[in-house]
């Protein structure tokens, strides 16, 4: 699984009640993408990576064992404090630190929403290796990853070159480990990535609001579409 969430997919998520239509931003699309794949699982061990105040874990079946790994340091405008939920075990850690609080070969499912893009490139290899460590054989990883992609004529701009490099890095992290990992679905996204009317995107209002909160990215948001990469793989 290596493609961008489409509007058709989001419409399906909305019809199936996975999406909260009162929330007008891409994170709602991403929540719905994850829920569409795991909403009905039971008796599983599930780890959210960087979940903060999780919106997804509380919606899962009560028979599941739920974990959330997050340092709550506020990175990427994330939270520094959350309301506790007795169903969810919090671990003050990043997945990439090989923290023994996250047991080896333990989780059936790991997932993240708008988290992977905040991991420094130098730490991505450790992130994947730690994911392999904590997943059971046959366990899956689902990540909704923020991307900014532009029109074809914009590909020479540095911001889009950086985004295409990120895409290729995510692809290679799976494909360079053929003895350990396999795709959940055949990859579809190629580089250079170009925006399409098919893709689910953030609204202009949301991008403007985010630009007021984080003005250093305003020049990117003025020329790019904000989309979500579906990055899903399985431990062999």
| Cα(37)–Cα(103) distance, integer angstroms | 24
What confidence score (pLDDT) does residue 78 get? 63
CATH architecture of 2-235: 3-Layer(aba) Sandwich (3.40)
- Domain boundaries defined on the chain: 2-235
- pLDDT of 25 reads 86
Cα 25 from chain centre: 15
Q: What is the pLDDT along the chain (236 residues), one digit of tens a residue?
A: 999 999 999 999 999 999 988 887 899 999 999 999 999 999 999 999 998 889 999 999 999 999 999 987 766 556 666 777 889 999 999 999 999 999 999 999 999 999 999 999 999 999 999 999 999 999 999 999 999 999 887 888 888 999 999 999 999 999 999 999 999 999 999 999 999 999 999 989 999 998 998 888 898 899 999 999 999 999 99
How far is 4 from 200, CA to CA, in rounded Å?
8
Range 84-103 burial, b when 16+ CB lie within 10 A, else e = eeeebebeebbbbeeeeebe
pTM over 0.85: yes
Q: Judge contact between 150 and 195, C-beta under 8 A.
A: yes
Q: Give the pLDDT confidence score for residue 22 in this predicted structure.
A: 84
- C-beta atoms surrounding 15 within 10 Å: 9
Torsion of CA 213, 216, 218, 223, to 10 degrees: -150
Task: Identify the three-state secondary structure at position 157.
Answer: coil
């Amino acid at each position: 699984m290596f493609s961008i969430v489409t509007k058709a997919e989001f419409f399906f998520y909305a019809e199936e009640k996975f999406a909260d239509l009162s929330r007008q931003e891409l994170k709602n699309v991403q929540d719905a993408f994850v829920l569409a794949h795991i909403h009905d699982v039971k008796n599983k061990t599930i780890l959210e990576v960087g979940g903060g105040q999780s919106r997804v874990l509380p919606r899962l079946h009560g028979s599941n064992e739920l974990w959330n790994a997050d340092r709550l340091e506020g990175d990427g405008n994330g939270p520094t404090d959350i309301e506790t939920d007795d169903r969810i075990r919090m671990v003050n850690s990043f997945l990439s630190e090989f923290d023994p609080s996250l047991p080896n070969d333990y989780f059936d499912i790991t997932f993240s929403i708008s988290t992977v893009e905040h991991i420094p490139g130098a730490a991505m290899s450790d992130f994947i290796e730690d994911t392999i460590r904590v997943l059971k054989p046959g366990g899956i990883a689902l990540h909704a990853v923020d991307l900014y992609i532009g029109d074809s004529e914009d590909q020479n701009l540095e911001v889009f070159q950086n985004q295409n490099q990120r895409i290729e890095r995510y692809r290679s992290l799976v494909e360079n480990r053929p003895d350990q990992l396999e795709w959940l679905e055949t990859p579809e996204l190629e580089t250079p990535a170009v925006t399409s009317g098919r893709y689910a995107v953030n609204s202009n209002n949301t991008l403007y609001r985010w630009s007021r909160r984080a003005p250093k990215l305003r020049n990117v948001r003025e020329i790019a579409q904000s989309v979500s990469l579906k990055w899903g793989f399985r431990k062999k």
